[in-house]
Structure 1
């Protein structure tokens, strides 16, 4: 998730400046501090992280101090924030002088005389798909629509689950000279609604081909790739007890510690670890991994994307990575506060901003550059643009706040909140042959394509 900062732009920029100035000091202190021993690591692992409302932080310095405790900031308001933290981290926040209120825990299995359904979603969430259920639905769709939908196993997760790439196109068995668009989902384990977004797209495209003129035209002229689940291990772990563990990372062990997991969306090999936008502590929510692309899931998807570079030209022209929550449309860069930064021209920035705003106008999300929120490094949208020049966006889906369901909205919202992005997806597909068209410069950038 990328939290949405609520408040004036001046306050936001001031906070980001303070973070940029203070974070190197905090990082140096963290690196100098002794690492906890295995017993402390094991105790921390046994604890399910919780969300807390922290009342008091109103300045950039105070928020910077929160980040230094190792928490993740999930929402930011004028004089309060919502964080995900361990008990020890919450205590550290209290010691900074703030009021800390623990928020309700994620849903658990309902009391029952029978054994809870382990490895499944609790009551009120059973319409969400487990990894096996999603795989079965995908296989059924492929069998039903073999002329326009194909499945590839592009690699495996740390625990050996297949990572899939689904291709949608009129001549699905042929690699044609058509613009390609990539949709990815579920980098963060607790963001289950994003898997449903992938399944919605697969069902929508296959069921409407031949009857809906826009869908038909796109499958006739595009190659659409959907990677529905980047983090199946983390997703299955999140629900393994019959409730929710609020798990974010993958399930890859970290050498030299009992801590488990890398934040996949801080592990991509572009500006990795460059700018104090991720953590070096394996126990933290935003741990960036031992090295760039050290997570097997990131390696698999990176190899797949590089494989779409044919004859020196990347075939994928645009992409959306789905997350929850906050209802945002975000574009690169996250590693710098500059509108352009190293590797982006003004025309490229304007193209991102224009398309982002156009898409947000269709789903009611808030459009902004990623770093308008806070600095991140090693994120997929930065990598897709910085490494492969793909116009890549991050969509933070429903809801807008913890109070509306946070990471765990009830399954009753799935149909509405996935269909909510239909028009935005179609707009991206329709511009994929020349994204610069949105700023009226197709003649300058796309002539002869």
Structure 2
């Protein structure tokens, strides 16, 4: 019943075969009814005959032929036809092969040939119920990916063999793909499998701890399902002895969501809008299945959140009609998994394009306590250790990918086909470059009181398991993927059976924090509750074909007064090529500004969040004609589909009504970042102490450490004096978020030297409700450049940068606020020493002003950790109180010298924190530079002239000594023969350093050519200026600039 159409044998195929077959399939199947021949035979099953008649002449259809007697097998073998040939005489004489139409005719001429069936799948004889190599053969013995119906039947087979340890059942159906053969929609089953000892003892089952694995939320990312079904079989037949010993107390649950995306590969359905394209598809009928979960915080109005509690979130109402119609499988999934008790750990398996890591673990974007952070981190550490031992297998997989996929190989984009490491784990933004909303892992991880599951959960990504390359089946690669995910299942199950606890040792020291009601957000604050206004959501889809290695544009109009806009450029199969393209993209506003851009290839990956591309959110979009530019990076055509959703409020104030936007009423909530400190109660030797601004002003602070996350009281002299007294008397003051605005107001020697002009509030602050969200805000709050030797970053991973998760706090992407301090001003303390732990955009985002280089007390600063919730975007399912990442938690604990001690089953496995506080002194430099750019916008290939002028004496001295440089995007060509360029250095962060000759007057000039490739359109950051101080390059804050490039012909 499937069409494995394009290509793929049971052994690795050549690149020539791959390109030939993929081109043939896509070209002939572009329209319904396209056929290489018309063949009819009463022995041909209906689906098989349809496949023959709706594929090109040379296309090989997976075929099962049953014969009347064994002589038919010999006669078939004598024909020497077909690919991936397998024959059997048990339980009936039969042969499997991939046959072209002409070959099928030859076989049909055999008098003993009785029936012909379309038979896609891993096991060539699954339709016969014959499993000589296992129900789900190992990938090296399989002829293709596991088929949807093959999986259903195989799971039922295993259940019949092991009824005391396995239960399988259907929890619902998807919307279904339209069947061109039967002229109807085919809803298919959402399957769940439970594996444990005495599975039918439901009372005992309810009490057991449960671990869950989801294999196919994205239908074109096959590695998860391939691993899950094989793991189930191996476990039941005794080949996973370590996991089997856990099943008295542990139940494993396997879910197979998104049947639409899985079944899209069959010839009677369309895939990506192309009937008979025979490709697995990413999402379900309603779009991306992994954006449809009802999480607290920001919900993109273009998504379709599946909340079974109904429009009123009360359990008595029905979900919105469009949700019931379009995403029934997501609804059924949410409803079913809410019924489980003691569901504690799990993973949602995915696939990605190219990466320097073979497998990546992506942490959930949730509100996590200290223990929850460490539970997830320990689970990832175990997986990392186990997968690293599999080094040979994942390197082999990379080599296989290079041989198979030719122009789809990541080496074309400058990345090695062979991953550099087995595993990495991080939040999504750090790992694969994006953040978003509606993810399964986030819904399963959030607390139960928000309708979530409170699990230790993550997404796992597998390299080369994606639509790019046409879902090519290769035994070696799929085998490595299966083994990696089976190892992950094994480690997660074992980890779940352990007891992970983490204490925070303070050495008797105490923690206080300053509260304010100004950071509290409640659902009662929302303007639509007292308004007769109306929220309007408009969705449109625009499309154009993009030739190989070409550029195209799509234009669309946006009305005035729109609250927000979501733009999702999506590349789909087109023309004579049945794979989704990969592209660079840029979004240009009516005034010509490039407001969003996406570069396909980064330093360590290829692709973005969906089929290699990205989703953009724009607040208060300009009225007028917008332009989307896409540059195809493949030597093959693709189809660009741009989904544009705009939302506006008509007379309803700044807050859109979620009932109008997505069909759900607002869940009541109260959100306060101070919940973080309340959750630390019981974790420290002494519970944190809350102080009001007034109590601080009265001198009532008695704790060793005081954390301030806001600038309330900035005009209260008594409060400021009390903070000065606290620091001068030996207290340790920690300022985060907008509390940095207090630095200029403090008189303590450790605070001196920072003026109000030295503090930059990027993005909207809690005191500026009317300020544009996009004004200098960040995609996410992060430390850009780390000083790994600084004690504030002690025991964090080198890759960790993200400080807090945005979506659960109501922030859309590009809306994250940070408060940053000029680096030179920060270093200019009149007492003690200043040291920088990290910078963002050349400004200090983490640093310390301490009494001495070996004294941990004084004033510490972190630019963003605990912002208040952001209520401007729709958030019908409530709001988190805080979203601090594990990295942010480590940094904050390090500001106070607290040590986190992780134990597993009572044994200490890891300590987090610095042993001895020691910093390198950041000597202040009286440096300032101006940047002059000859134009703000350039066309592709045009040359910019950059002039850097010293505006202080020390800056002039630095320039005249030849110790000044500028930093430039790597894609720009610096013209070294002109200007004051002494040399150009390539940096590891994907940029280049332009070093200048000595210039007596303190001015330096250079020229750089804009990129001229298809992906040139976009915004480029120049700077900051750097100065060489004792052999170390130090950036000068406030010296950067942005240049826009618009491709020729736009």
For the aligned pair, the TM-score class normalised by the smaller chain equals 0.5 to 0.7
Query: Which residue of structure 2 lines up, in the alignment, with residue 174 of structure 1?
Result: 201
Query: Which residue of structure 1 lines up, in the alignment, with residue 171 of structure 2?
Result: 154
The residue correspondences of 1:191-270 to structure 2 (distance < 5 A) are 191-208=221-238, 213-227=241-255, 229-240=256-267, 244-245=278-279, 247-251=281-285, 261-270=286-295
TM-score, structure 1 as length reference: 0.60
For residue 432 of structure 1, report the CA deviation from its aligned partner: 1.4
Which residue of 328, 340, 343 maps to 1:308? 340
The residue correspondences of 1:131-150 to structure 2 (distance < 5 A) are 131-150=148-167
More strand by share: 2
For residue 408 of structure 1, report the CA deviation from its aligned partner: 3.8
**Distance in structure 1 (CA, Å) of the matches to 2:163 and 2:211:** 20
Corresponding residue SS for 2:372:
helix
For residue 422 of structure 1, report the CA deviation from its aligned partner: 2.9
**Distance in structure 2 (CA, Å) of the matches to 1:234 and 1:332:** 25
Query: Which residue of structure 1 lines up, in the alignment, with residue 453 of structure 2?
Result: 388
Which residue of 392, 399, 423 maps to 2:464? 399
Query: Which residue of structure 2 lines up, in the alignment, with residue 367 of structure 1?
Result: 425
Point out the structure with max Rg over C-alpha: 2
1:424 paired with 2:488, answer: yes
CA root-mean-square deviation = 3.5
Q: Is the 8 A contact 2:498 2:904 kept in 1?
A: no
Relative distance call for 1:174 and 1:115 in structure 2 (3 A) is farther
Relative distance call for 1:142 and 1:437 in structure 2 (3 A) is farther
**Distance in structure 1 (CA, Å) of the matches to 2:223 and 2:103:** 26
More helix by share: 1
Q: Is the 8 A contact 1:331 1:381 kept in 2?
A: no
The residue correspondences of 1:316-395 to structure 2 (distance < 5 A) are 316-325=343-352, 327-334=358-365, 343-363=367-387, 364-372=422-430, 373-386=433-446, 387-395=452-460
- Larger relative contact order (Cα-Cα within 8 Å, sequence gap ≥ 6): 1
For residue 345 of structure 1, report the CA deviation from its aligned partner: 2.0
Relative distance call for 1:268 and 1:401 in structure 2 (3 A) is closer
For residue 215 of structure 1, report the CA deviation from its aligned partner: 2.6
1:297 paired with 2:319, answer: no
The residue correspondences of 1:96-135 to structure 2 (distance < 5 A) are 112-114=100-102, 120=120, 126-135=143-152
Query: Which residue of structure 2 lines up, in the alignment, with residue 433 of structure 1?
Result: 497
For residue 135 of structure 1, report the CA deviation from its aligned partner: 0.9
Query: Which residue of structure 2 lines up, in the alignment, with residue 186 of structure 1?
Result: 216
**Distance in structure 1 (CA, Å) of the matches to 2:155 and 2:472:** 23
Q: Is the 8 A contact 1:250 1:264 kept in 2?
A: yes
Corresponding residue SS for 2:247:
helix
Query: Structure 2: 5+ residue runs without aligned partners?
Result: 1-29, 32-58, 62-98, 105-116, 125-140, 177-186, 269-275, 309-322, 388-421, 447-451, 503-901, 907-1050
Corresponding residue SS for 2:199:
coil
For residue 428 of structure 1, report the CA deviation from its aligned partner: 1.3
Q: Is the 8 A contact 2:121 2:150 kept in 1?
A: no
Relative distance call for 1:401 and 1:384 in structure 2 (3 A) is closer
Relative distance call for 1:204 and 1:183 in structure 2 (3 A) is same
For residue 401 of structure 1, report the CA deviation from its aligned partner: 8.7
**Distance in structure 2 (CA, Å) of the matches to 1:219 and 1:319:** 16
Q: Is the 8 A contact 1:157 1:163 kept in 2?
A: yes
Relative distance call for 1:194 and 1:400 in structure 2 (3 A) is closer
Corresponding residue SS for 2:244:
helix
Relative distance call for 1:435 and 1:115 in structure 2 (3 A) is farther
For residue 369 of structure 1, report the CA deviation from its aligned partner: 1.8
TM-score, structure 2 as length reference: 0.27
